Amino acid sequence: MRGLICGPKLAACGIVLSTWGVIMLGMLGIFFTTHSAVLIEDVPVTDDSIYQDGNPQRIYAMYNSVGYNCFIAAAIYILFGAFSTCQMKLNKQKEYLVH
């Protein structure tokens, strides 16, 4: 079968992992872009830059940057899930042709 790269179990595992990745990274992206205070430890900012000029816009820009990175990673997981779904369909088609 042309284009078949992985077996049915690996394809199913890829679907499960990509589903979880999309949900988790999508939620993290939403929380970062809404500037959730709980996630301040995950923003690449030092204590000196927080208190440098008292302007929170720099920190908000860093929150948005991390949030956009989460959305980009979620999009990559969507592509991985589509690939895994195609592999699952090819495995089903191969199984149908053999029997």
Per-residue pLDDT band for 99 (boundaries 50, 70, 90) equals: low
Tell me which residue of 99, 16, 35, 26 sits closest to 69, measured CA to CA: 26
More confident residue, 20 or 2: 20
Mean of the per-residue pLDDT values for the chain?
A: 89
SS (H, E, C) 13-63: HHHHHHHHHHHHHHHHHHHHHCCCHHHHHHCCCCHHHHCCCCCCHHHHHHH
The structure's pTM equals: 0.83
Terminal C-alpha separation, the chain: 14
The better pLDDT of the pair 15, 47 is held by 15
